[in-house]
């Protein structure tokens, strides 16, 4: 190899190394950012859309949230348990649920619980256009206002937990902040063989300040174990609070 050929080859190799290094650093930076987000109460996206997935970790308290978008199998027992333990709960409700079960939603409100937006008909928002996302949130908001006179703002939870930066940005422009969870209790997975004992253990073994627990009103497990779970959590010196109380 003559000197000119060597210099050309060296320059090309150096350029590829720089490019590869740049790609690696971008990937590594993303991994670091994601890891930092997992340890922080607020997940900040590159577009500054924020997402809550943990509450205040300085206090010995946890947050229980209940998604409602289908059946109401555990609804009565959830409300009874919240009242028994004098806990203010947080419900993410679909517009269709509001319209099909107005009496239940009215009871949730009368119990002093928080009701926030879970879209109108529970789509995967990552597959919906910007306009469609805004319409899903607004339609649910109008349903809730018409039934119980309560606004669904300023929080929403994406159905199935399916959201990305675009979804969060569109929601933020509509006045909503995304709320995810720290621990999915998997109470909804009865059809996959999930059991009450495993759901109970999943909650209690993960207990930590600021945890946001995801549960549902549409399965039987939640109503079956919630009273016992609350009693055990309180016996360990934890308070159980709503989303707004726990941030």
Which residues are annotated as catalytic?
A: 67, 216
Cβ neighbours, 10 Å, residue 35? 10
Looking from the CA of 71 toward its CB, the CA atoms found within 13 Å total: 9
In 86-221, the DSSP E strands lie at 90-93, 114-117, 155-156, 177-179, 183-184, 212-216
Measure the CA–CA gap between 87 and 79, rounded to whole angstroms.
10
Measure the CA–CA gap between 74 and 138, rounded to whole angstroms.
27
Measured in whole angstroms, how far is the alpha carbon of residue 148 from the centre of its chain? 24
Task: Give residue for tokens 């239940």.
Answer: 104
Contact 244, 114 (CB under 8 A): yes
Six-digit token string for 68: 């409602």
Measure the CA–CA gap between 92 and 216, rounded to whole angstroms.
9
Residue 57 burial class via C-beta count within 10 angstroms: exposed 0-12, middle 13-18, buried 19 and up: middle
Measure the CA–CA gap between 169 and 137, rounded to whole angstroms.
13
Q: What is the DSSP string of 26-44?
A: HHHHHHHHHHHHHTSSEEE
């Amino acid at each position: 190899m003559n000197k000119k050929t060597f210099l050309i080859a060296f320059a090309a190799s150096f350029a590829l190394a720089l490019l590869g290094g740049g790609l690696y650093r971008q990937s590594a930076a993303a991994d670091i950012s994601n890891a930092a987000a997992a340890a922080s109460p607020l997940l900040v996206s590159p577009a500054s859309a924020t997402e809550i997935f943990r509450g205040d970790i300085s206090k010995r308290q946890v947050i229980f949230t209940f998604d409602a978008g289908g059946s109401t199998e555990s609804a009565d027992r959830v409300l009874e348990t919240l009242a028994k333990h004098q806990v203010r709960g947080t419900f993410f409700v679909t517009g269709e649920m509001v319209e099909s079960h107005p009496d239940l939603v009215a009871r949730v409100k009368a119990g002093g619980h928080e009701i926030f937006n879970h879209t109108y008909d529970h789509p995967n928002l990552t597959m919906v256009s910007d306009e469609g996302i805004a319409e899903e949130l607004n339609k649910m908001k109008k349903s809730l206002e018409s039934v119980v006179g309560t606004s669904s703002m300023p929080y929403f939870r994406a159905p199935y937990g399916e959201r990305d930066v675009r979804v969060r940005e569109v929601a933020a422009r509509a006045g909503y902040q995304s709320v995810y969870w720290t621990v999915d209790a998997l109470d909804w997975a009865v059809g996959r063989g999930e059991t009450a004992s495993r759901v109970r253990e999943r909650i209690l073994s993960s207990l930590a300040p600021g945890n946001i627990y995801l549960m549902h009103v549409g399965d039987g497990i939640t109503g079956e174990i919630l009273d016992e779970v609350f009693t055990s959590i309180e016996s360990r010196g934890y308070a159980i609070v709503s989303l707004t109380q726990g941030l």
